[in-house]
Structure 1
């Protein structure tokens, strides 16, 4: 039997949603985890652990759509100032170092080095890459839009201009991009509002290939 929810369930009304919609927690749709890196105006690397994004391409190019960028954060500020950034995708073995960027976020900090990671210059944009991440997408800012007028967060579109990827992850026979050492997904507070007791937390998920859809 299916349940219908068009208004916040009673069990969630006292829950801290941290600025997200209550629907985020009922649906718990996973989104890829990555670290956005750029340069602050003082030349120090900025790093922001991010999720809530999708990646789409057409004959005109390949694009990253960041769906929840806080206009008051360093990430938004630096991308608007420089017009460039790198999206760095970690495997689970360096995830804790990536989360350390959340606390090492002072304006005068080298947020990559302080978190135990290695900064290297990108090939096509003026932004640092994280060497330990198995995939780096070098991007240029295209546009942004508020979800609704006056919102504190924007939808931001970046054009991918260069891809850097570890060859062992590129080869599906050796390592590939999925499984235990591949892409990480943020599973946002999976809540059952029918029996929610006021306690929940995020999860990290991984992808597993399930069915071969045949050759193109």
Structure 2
């Protein structure tokens, strides 16, 4: 027998004010796994910005590799930076640095170097004007292609990015060493 849901189940209560205005109860109910990564840009003051992200998908088309970010807040540093610079880096952490990635949520003031303040290291990118995170096992340098509101009056947008360059730790590249799958690689929500 299947349970049917057209509205939020009673057992789901907000853990903080506005939680279900930021996220949907459907996110919690379905618990569909997505890789966790940090999107990095430079803010208008040239300080590094790091936005912890999930709810995304990756695909190839006509020889190009793209990422669709399911939800970017119009109010955040990431959105403003993407519109201005048109560049970013997707940084994939292993589980051992997840707490530092989580710290970027708190270290999110405009004047903060969000990467350094969270205990991570800025690394120069090869093809974009956005910082990479040195501790990440995979960095995908991207250009911004487009954005679209979720719906009229939405707080967030869907964003499409195109890969320009990939940097991968050699131990993760080699499936006989750490590899890309298993307990030491992709962290997912």
TM band (smaller chain): over 0.9
The correspondence of residues 102-181 of structure 1 with structure 2, limited to 5 A, is 102-181=105-184
Distance 2:147 2:159 in 1: 4
TM-score, length of structure 1 as denominator length? 0.82
Task: Specify the SS of the correspondent of 2:45.
Answer: coil
Q: Deviations over 1:1-49 (max 9, x none)?
A: 222222322333x445352222222111111100010011111111111
Distance 1:171 1:124 in 2: 24
Gaps of 5+ in 2: none
Aligned equivalent of 1:6: 6
Distance 1:119 1:43 in 2: 13
Q: Deviations over 1:30-76 (max 9, x none)?
A: 11100010011111111111111111111241101000100000011
TM-score, length of structure 2 as denominator length? 0.94
Distance 1:135 1:151 in 2: 31
Aligned equivalent of 2:41: 38
Distance 2:8 2:36 in 1: 27
Aligned equivalent of 2:83: 80
Aligned equivalent of 1:49: 52
